[in-house]
C-alpha cells in the first residue's frame, strides 16, 4: 500500500516555553483518528537557516518531502534583516504519513526574528535540540557559510553536518576561496567532534556527470584517451559558474594536474595555472600517475583552468556586474599554445 502524507497544517503561534507541550498535544490528537499506533519519527535534528521570509516559503514547500525520506525534528529559523526589531516568535506544526498500519508523525518548529533580535535565534533553538540525535544544519541562505559570521558559527558549533548550496552565489570567486579556508577548519580542526562534514548540493548535482565521464574515459572504453587529453571545455548557464568550476577542478585532480598559481579578474575570468601532469584516471579511486610531463614537439607542458564570461546578465545570476559566466576551460598547453581539443560538455 502506498504511503500518503497528510498536508501540513498552517503554523500556529505558540510561546517558546510551550513548544514541547504543544508538539506533544498535536501528536496525541492523531491517536483518535488512527486505528494503529502513532509514532513520532526523529532520526536527527534538522536546523534550517533562511535569511528572508520569501526563502523560508520556498524551503517550507519541500520540507515534507525531505522529512518523508529522512524523518527529523525540523527547526526552521527565519531571520529578516529589517530596521525594526521583532523578538523571537515561534509556531509549530505536525503532519503525518498514512497508508500503513502505523501513523508516522513529523514535527516542525519555526522560529522567526527580525532586526537586532536575529542574533537570539541561535540561542532559542538550542533548547529545542534533542540531545541524543545527530545535528544537521541546512544553510539555505544564498550567502556562503564562510561569510555567515557569528550566526553560522553558533549554529554549526555542535553540528555533525552542514549542507549548503553554492548555486547563484553573487561573488563566486570570493565564496569559493573563503569556503576553502572554512572547510579546512570545520572538518579537520580539533574541537569539531569525531566527525564533521560539509556538503554542497551543487557538487551532488554533478554526480551523474562524473559517472558519465568516468565511464566515457575508462581505459577499457577509450584506450589512450586519458593520456591524450589536452583541452576540456565546460559550457554552463549563468547560475552554474561554481558548478562548472567544481567539475573542472575534479577533472584536473583525476588527471593528476596540480595547481601552481592562480589569478582572478572579477566577473570575467578566474584561472589556475598547473604544471603538465602525467596520465590520470577519471573514475573512482586514486588517479594513476607515472610522473611524466606532457609534451608537444619536445617542449614541457603546462595547464590552465579558466571560467570566462560575456556581457548580458546581472551579477545576481552568478557573475560579476553586468556579465554572464559562460565557459569553464581546462587547458593543457605546450609552447604557450593549446595543441588539441578533446572534450566539450554543456549543462
**What digits encode the pLDDT tens for the residues 92-112?**
998 887 656 777 888 999 999
Kindly tell me if the per-residue pLDDT of 321 is higher than 70. Answer: no
Out of 203, 221, 247, pick the residue that ends a domain.
Answer: 203
Residue 329 CB burial class (10 angstroms; 0-12, 13-18, ≥19): buried
Residue 38 forms beta bridges with which residues? 103
What is the pLDDT averaged over residues 28-54? 84
For residues 72 and 107, give the distance between their C-alpha atoms in angstroms, rounded to a whole number. Answer: 8
Out of 174, 203, 232, pick the residue that ends a domain.
Answer: 203
pLDDT (tens digit per residue) in 232-249: 677 777 778 888 888 888
Number of domains composing the chain: 2
Taking a C-beta distance cutoff of 8 angstroms, is the pair 120, 113 a contact? yes
pLDDT (tens digit per residue) in 254-281: 877 776 666 666 655 556 666 654 444 4
Q: Count CB-CB contacts under 10 A for residue 347.
A: 13
214 and 181 in a single domain? The answer is no
**Average pLDDT of the chain, as a whole number:** 74
215 and 281 in a single domain? The answer is yes
11 and 133 in a single domain? The answer is yes
| Of the candidates 224, 235, 172, the residue with the CA atom closest to the CA atom of residue 202 | 172
Which helix (H) or strand (E) covers residue 153, if one does?
helix 149-155
- DSSP 8-state code for residue 251: H
147 and 226 in a single domain? The answer is no
pTM listed for this prediction: 0.76
What is the pLDDT averaged over residues 150-162? 91
179 and 243 in a single domain? The answer is no
Kindly tell me if the per-residue pLDDT of 330 is higher than 80. Answer: no
- Structural domain including 261 reads 206-346
Out of 203, 237, 272, pick the residue that ends a domain.
Answer: 203
pLDDT (tens digit per residue) in 179-198: 988 888 887 765 555 568 89
237 and 172 in a single domain? The answer is no
Grid cell of 33 as nine digits: 483518528
Amino acid at each position: 500500500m502506498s504511503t500518503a502524507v497528510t498536508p501540513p497544517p498552517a503554523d500556529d503561534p505558540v510561546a517558546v516555553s510551550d513548544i514541547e507541550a504543544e508538539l506533544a498535544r498535536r501528536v496525541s490528537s492523531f491517536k483518535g483518528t488512527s486505528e494503529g499506533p502513532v509514532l513520532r519519527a526523529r532520526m536527527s535534528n534538522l536546523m534550517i537557516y533562511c535569511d528572508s521570509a520569501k526563502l523560508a516559503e520556498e524551503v517550507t514547500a519541500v520540507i515534507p518531502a525531505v522529512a518523508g525520506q529522512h524523518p527529523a525534528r525540523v527547526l526552521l529559523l527565519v531571520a529578516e534583516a529589517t530596521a525594526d526589531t521583532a523578538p523571537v516568535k515561534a509556531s509549530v506544526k505536525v503532519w503525518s504519513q498514512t497508508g500503513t498500519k502505523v501513523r508516522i508523525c513529523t514535527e516542525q518548529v519555526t522560529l522567526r526574528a527580525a532586526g537586532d533580535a536575529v542574533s537570539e535565534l541561535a540561542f532559542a533553538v538550542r533548547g529545542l535540540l534533542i540531545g541524543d540525535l545527530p545535528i544537521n544544519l541546512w544553510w539555505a541562505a544564498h550567502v556562503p557559510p564562510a561569510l555567515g559570521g557569528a550566526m553560522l558559527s553558533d549554529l554549526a558549533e555542535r553540528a555533525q553536518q552542514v549542507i549548503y548550496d553554492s548555486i547563484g552565489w553573487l561573488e563566486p570567486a570570493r565564496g569559493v576561496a573563503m569556503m576553502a579556508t572554512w572547510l579546512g577548519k570545520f572538518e579537520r580542526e580539533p574541537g569539531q567532534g569525531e566527525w564533521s562534514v560539509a556538503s554542497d548540493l551543487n557538487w551532488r548535482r554533478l554526480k551523474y556527470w562524473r559517472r558519465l565521464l568516468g565511464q566515457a574515459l575508462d581505459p577499457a572504453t577509450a584506450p589512450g584517451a586519458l593520456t591524450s587529453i589536452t583541452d576540456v571545455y565546460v559550457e554552463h548557464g549563468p547560475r552554474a559558474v561554481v558548478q562548472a568550476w567544481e567539475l573542472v577542478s575534479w577533472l584536473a585532480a583525476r588527471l593528476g594536474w596540480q595547481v601552481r598559481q592562480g589569478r582572478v579578474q572579477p566577473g570575467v575570468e578566474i584561472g589556475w595555472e598547473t604544471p603538465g601532469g602525467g596520465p590520470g584516471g577519471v573514475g573512482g579511486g586514486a588517479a594513476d600517475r607515472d610522473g611524466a610531463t606532457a609534451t608537444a614537439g619536445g617542449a614541457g607542458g603546462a595547464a590552465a583552468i579558466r571560467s570566462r564570461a560575456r556581457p548580458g546578465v546581472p551579477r545576481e545570476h552568478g557573475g560579476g556586474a553586468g556579465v554572464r559566466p559562460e565557459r569553464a576551460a581546462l587547458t593543457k598547453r605546450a609552447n604557450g599554445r593549446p595543441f588539441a581539443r578533446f572534450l566539450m560538455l554543456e549543462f
